[in-house]
């Protein structure tokens, strides 16, 4: 995944974090129990955190390269979908007629967490490929 795609996906994820957060605060607050609302809010919070992680991976991609930053981007996306997505569904499951799916969704959340941890590890690995630009060969001095 390249810089442009990661930054675009981060922007969309950030937008959806805000939309889902507002949905939880204004609409779901009236429908969900305090416990269910906490689960939903945890999903929003982790999605928002990893929106920034995806944006950081996108910036790293430009300066470090695509291999490990691309891996980090995909892991952040998949981890967010599994972790936050399963929390959204678990919070709403009783209200959308899917109570029988609770046993399946429960184990998906930690899988998402492992994917998010993997994204951070891939970003850590990408940092090893970063090479500080030398002062004598900067872009602005070569364009003069």
Dihedral sign of CA atoms 26, 32, 33, 35 in order: negative
Query: pTM of the full predicted structure?
Result: 0.85
Q: Which residue has the higher pLDDT, 133 or 100?
A: 100
Digit-coded pLDDT (tens) for 4-54? 999 999 999 999 999 999 999 999 989 999 999 999 999 999 999 999 999
Q: Look at phi and psi of residue 48 and say left if phi exceeds 0, alpha if psi is from -120 to 50, else beta.
A: alpha
Digit-coded pLDDT (tens) for 80-95? 999 999 999 999 998 8
Residue 139: is its pLDDT beyond 70? Answer: no
Domain borders along the chain are 3-128
């Amino acid at each position: 995944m390249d810089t442009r795609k990661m930054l675009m996906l981060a922007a969309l994820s950030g937008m959806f974090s805000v939309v889902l957060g507002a949905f939880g605060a204004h609409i779901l607050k009236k429908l969900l129990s305090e416990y269910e609302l906490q689960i939903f809010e945890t999903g929003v919070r982790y999605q928002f955190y990893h929106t920034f992680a995806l944006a950081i991976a996108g910036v790293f991609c430009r300066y470090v390269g695509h291999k490990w930053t691309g891996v980090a981007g995909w892991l952040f996306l998949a981890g967010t979908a599994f972790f936050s997505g399963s929390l959204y569904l678990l919070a709403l499951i009783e209200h959308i007629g899917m109570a029988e799916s609770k046993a399946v969704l429960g184990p998906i959340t930690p899988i998402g967490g492992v994917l998010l941890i993997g994204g951070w590890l891939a970003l850590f690995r990408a940092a090893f490929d970063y090479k500080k630009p030398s002062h004598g060969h900067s872009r602005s001095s070569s364009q003069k």
